Amino acid sequence: MAFFCSIFFSFVFDALDGWCARKFNQVSTFGSVLDKVVDRISTGCLLVILSKYTGKVSHKDVKDSSNWLFKAYYGNRMFMAYCCVAVEVLYIVLFLLAENQTESLMDVLMRTAKQSLLISSILALSFFGCAIKQIVNVIQMKTAADLCVLYDIDKKQKP
């Protein structure tokens, strides 16, 4: 239970930190990048800890998973690499295309769609890979939560 509460509060405080930064105009490029890096490190640490609960060597061990997307993602290194690179390419291309910091995502996408088929295609492919990666992240978190529950049930049943 302490583990679950720690993770929950970590997400809450991460969201609160971002909200406060925007509310009090304390936003910086460094802070934005640092937030993403810390999020990735936290997720990695969480996955390592949860994989130890199940006795697996890695969170990428999916041979007993029933989810086809999870198996496709971790079972094919090229597909996984495409999804990981797509996230970064999407961030970089959108950053380079934005004319200013206040331009909305939809404005950037609409302007780009009218100007360049090549860049629009790169964005579409990047968005697809990014979406797959985010779906896999949700599947991992759901699977990890289920495993934690099963671990706690098993622990309580043992005398």
| Start-to-end Cα distance in the chain | 19
From the candidates 39, 61, 107, 146, give the one annotated as an active-site residue: 39
Helix, strand or coil for residue 7? helix
d(CA 114, CA 22): 31
CB 46 within 8 A of CB 36: no
d(CA 61, CA 75): 9
Tell me how crowded residue 141 is: count the other CB atoms within 10 A of its CB: 15
Annotated catalytic, 61? Answer: no
Please return the burial class of 24, using the count of CB atoms within 10 Å of its CB with bins 0-12, 13-18 and 19+: exposed
Up-side HSE of residue 102: CA atoms within 13 Å toward CB?
Answer: 0
As annotated, the active-site residues are 39
